[in-house]
Amino acid sequence: MRPILQPTVVTVAARVQYATAALALAGAVLSVLLTGRLLAVLPDALAEEFPMEAQRETAVFTTRLASYTVIGLWLLCSLAFAALARFYLAGRRWARTCTWAVAGPLVLCGVCGLVGEGSPSGYGADAATAQRVEQALDAATPGWWSGANVVVQALTFAAYLAIIVLLATPPANQWFRAVPEAARKGVPAAT
């Protein structure tokens, strides 16, 4: 039978999960602000690759749409992840399983994000265009962004990993153990 009091590990996992969701919301707001700055310099950087203004506008629109779609998806995922914490605090096994299903790939994404932080991104068909765009974007990016981004990614990675581990401990397993049908109805279980 499930213990009456929540184990501390479940409470800590939920708090870490809520903090991670808040961190993701703050990161999304900063990403929106940064994306606006970067998109402002993109048309000039793409001038040689796309000589016609309509082509540049299409490229900028596509980049804007992709950027804001990814930011929106991350916002939805972080809100859903925070909602899952509320359900597993109530002892819902499906919420713990969903949390693992979400946190596992996010840990992997965190590793890939930290590894790929220094890799170049490709714009345009030739190396000169890619270099010109990269220089324009680097000039528009605040100096603190790269370091802050790595710190946020590392903290998020550590938080997701901690959530996975905390929810796998024996006290958490006891908390998520299925309650027998007789106990739900108030009938003492036969021993």
pTM above 0.85, yes or no: no
Collect all residues with Cβ–Cβ distance below 8 Å to 169 and sequence separation of at least 6.
Answer: 7, 9
Q: Are 24 and 75 in contact (CB under 8 A)?
A: yes
Q: What share of the chain has pLDDT > 70, as a percent?
A: 81
Rg (CA), the chain: 23
- Residue for token pair 């009456």: 4
Tokens at residue 124, please?
Answer: 């345009």
Nearest to 137 by CA among 44, 2, 38: 38
* Angle between helices 8-45 and 53-89 in degrees, nearest 10: 180
The tens place of each residue's pLDDT in the chain, 191 residues long, gives 555 678 999 999 999 999 988 888 888 888 888 888 888 888 888 877 778 888 888 888 888 888 888 888 878 878 888 899 999 888 889 999 998 888 888 777 766 655 544 444 555 556 777 777 788 888 888 888 888 878 888 888 889 899 999 999 999 998 888 665 545 555 554 44
Interatomic CA distance for residues 99 and 106, integer angstroms: 10
